[in-house]
Copies of this chain bind each other. A is one copy, B any other.
Amino acid sequence: MRDWKATVRSILDGDHPRFGRPVLFLIYAFIIVSVLSIGFETLPDLPPWARAAFTIEEIVVVAFFTMEYLLRIASAERPLRYVGSLFGIVDLLAILPFYLSLGLDLRSLRTLRLLRVFRLLKLTRYNDAADRFAEAWRATREELVVFFAAAIIVLYLCSIGIYYFEHDAQPEAFSSVFDSMWWAAVTLTTVGYGDVYPITTGGRIFTVVVLFVGLGAIAVPTGIVGAALARMRRPGDPEA
């Protein structure tokens, strides 16, 4: 009995010498098909046969994922642990909306299936690189939290500042501090759509000062993570 469970587990995890890789690629193929179909279904003017095809594809995908989910529970040494684990919850969320929506319309919940995309990151070949990313994340986590907190404070202060400068001149675009945050975020990230921008002299001087100071505050962490990643490459190497 135990052997049977271990065999199923090794197949589902892609470790089985004979069926491991084919099953793994089958699972990945289903994930990709399932995720891509969420996008393709939104294409306007789809012919009826395409709608029908998507419905069939949906049923096949959910049947496959349900079977995989049940097999994972059945083969797990401690089924409850798998059910409560991150991947267990993700796997359930990928199929649950289908069964719920048989009664009521919960189609948009299907996007939860996107979470399964993260399974793709487990591809063995790029495991080392992914590990280095994770390590760099751990090494710089505290700086990123401090930075993120600082970024939110800067964002809020900028919103209050621009509100006082621009509210009277553009009462619609800068109707409140929270509306001004849209401007602050679009400006500090240098996206600059051009739908809202200051027109008063005071607002413009404020923007220039904020940009020069704020850009540093937002761009710096990039350098931190990059440098940390570069150092991760050869842990024991004095050159690194």
Interface residues of A (CB under 8 A from B): 35, 38-40, 42-44, 108, 111, 114, 117, 120-121, 126, 128-130, 132-133, 139, 142-143, 145-146, 148-151, 153, 156-157, 159-160, 163-164, 167, 175-178, 181-182, 185-187, 189-195, 197, 204, 207-208, 211-212, 215-216, 218-231, 233, 235, 237-240
Inside 8 A of A117's CB, which chain B residues have their CB? Answer: 153, 157
Min distance, Cβ A131 to any Cβ of chain B, angstroms? 10
- Minimum distance in angstroms from A211 CB to a CB of chain B: 5
Known: A126-B142, A193-B192. A226 touches B229 (CB 8 A): no
B129 lies within 8 A of A142 (CB): yes
Which residue of B is nearest A159, CB measured?
B39
Q: Is the interface of A mostly helix, strand, loop or mixed?
A: helix
Return chain B residues, CB-CB under 8 Å to A44: 175-176
Besides A35-B156, A38-B160, A114-B160, 4 new A-B residue pairs in contact (Cβ under 8 A), listed by A number: A111-B164, A120-B149, A189-B190, A231-B240
Distance in Å: Cβ of A192 to nearest Cβ of chain B = 4
Contact B229 A225 (CB under 8 A): no
Cβ-closest chain B residue relative to A195: B197
Docked pose: A42 CA to B156 CA in angstroms: 13
Neighbour of A190 across the interface among B175, B191, B237, CB < 8 A? B191
Query: Known: A160-B114, A240-B239. Contact between A212 and B151, CB under 8 A?
Result: yes
A187 to B189, CA, bound (A): 10
With A146-B130, A192-B192, A208-B185 in contact, is A229–B222 under 8 Å at CB?
A: no
Q: Evaluate contact between A216 and B224: CB separation under 8 angstroms.
A: no
